[in-house]
Amino acid sequence: MSTVLESELNAAPAAPLLEVKGAVATITLRRPATHNKIEPEDLVVLRGYLAQLNADKSVRVIVFASTGKSFSSGFDLGRLGSAAGSGENLFERFTDEIENARAVTIAKLHAPVYGGSTDLALSCDFRIGVRGMRMFMPACRLGLHYYAHGIRRWVSRLGLGAAKKLFLTSRPIDAEEMLRVGYLDVLVDREQLDAEVQSWIDDLLAQAPIPLASMKATLNEVARNEYDEDAARAAYLASVKSRDIGEALAAFAEKRAPKFTGT
């Protein structure tokens, strides 16, 4: 049975929607008339959803999806000046919160992705796209020096050459090149998208919850040059002492699927 959070019930019809079904949460952008442009008030809703999901350890996978002809065109640049008045970039904070979410995140890209939402998707652990889509990052063309953590993420995940090409030329790239440079993890026909996303969800939910979360965190720290060896060793020891590792070994010996409890 699905669970819709109370904050969603109080939101406007076009606000992002959160639905939780068991261990999987889906956050859907719902402004198709404006290519799912993200407004400042949407950031409040989205960040609230992430905070609630981080606190709910039963949720192990978060899928970002949308409706309409585009996945998203990013943050509403028409409101960038007022949003930046405090000196704090809330969209940057939001994408960092996606990257650091406890659960594994998947961007379900059914259509083109532009602007800041290219980083929203890149902040996710995995991106699954469809043939015929494209992306581009027009920050430089629009006179904007992109926020620092976004640039770091692009270079660490795509490499310097791909990041320079995308940022400094503002050229669109097609789905095949998105796959080639590592922006997409897999590329499928549009009618296969739902099944492909479900396949990834099934694989992720088959893993032991404790190392799934701790290894995600450590891998991200390594990518950001923030590796904490003491924390990584502590995570290793916690997994060795968990009940789940005993269950995994027993299941292997008994030739059955393990039943993990996250303990």
| Domain boundaries defined on the chain | 2-205, 209-254
User: Minimal CA–CA distance to 65: which of 194, 213, 180, 205?
Assistant: 194
pLDDT surpasses 60 at 189: yes
Banded model confidence at residue 172, pLDDT cuts 50, 70, 90: very high
d(CA 171, CA 135): 9
Q: What is the pTM of this model?
A: 0.91
Q: Estimate to the nearest angstrom the gap between the alpha carbon of 84 and the chain centroid.
A: 23
The answer to whether residues 208 and 239 touch, using CB atoms and an 8 Å cutoff, is yes
Mean model confidence pLDDT for the chain: 91
The answer to whether residues 91 and 38 touch, using CB atoms and an 8 Å cutoff, is yes
pLDDT surpasses 80 at 12: no
Banded model confidence at residue 14, pLDDT cuts 50, 70, 90: confident
**Secondary structure class of 106 (helix, strand, coil):** strand
Average pLDDT rounded to a whole number, residues 176-197: 98
d(CA 137, CA 180): 17
Edge-to-edge, what's the strand order for the sheet holding 104-109? 2-3, 17-21, 24-29, 61-66, 104-109, 126-130, 186-188
Domain 2-205, what architecture?
Alpha-Beta Complex (3.90)
d(CA 63, CA 26): 5
| Residues contacting residue 47 through CB under 8 Å, at least 6 positions apart | 90, 93, 94, 97
User: What is the pLDDT at residue 79?
Assistant: 62
Give the torsion through C-alpha atoms of 263, 51, 75, 178, to 10 deg. 0
Average pLDDT rounded to a whole number, residues 58-80: 90
Average pLDDT rounded to a whole number, residues 34-56: 95
How buried is residue 251: exposed, middle or buried, by Cβ count under 10 Å (0-12/13-18/19+)?
Answer: middle
pLDDT surpasses 70 at 120: yes
Q: 71-85, 167-181, 186-200 — which is least confidently predicted?
A: 71-85
User: What is the pLDDT at residue 34?
Assistant: 92
pLDDT surpasses 60 at 9: no
Average pLDDT rounded to a whole number, residues 254-258: 93
Banded model confidence at residue 1, pLDDT cuts 50, 70, 90: very low
| Residues contacting residue 52 through CB under 8 Å, at least 6 positions apart | 5, 7
The answer to whether residues 28 and 65 touch, using CB atoms and an 8 Å cutoff, is yes
φ, ψ of residue 40 in degrees (nearest 5):
-55, -40
Q: Convert the pLDDT of each residue in 121-150 to its tens digit.
A: 999 999 999 999 999 999 999 999 999 999
User: What is the pLDDT at residue 6?
Assistant: 43
User: Minimal CA–CA distance to 115: which of 132, 135, 133, 99?
Assistant: 135
Average pLDDT rounded to a whole number, residues 51-63: 97
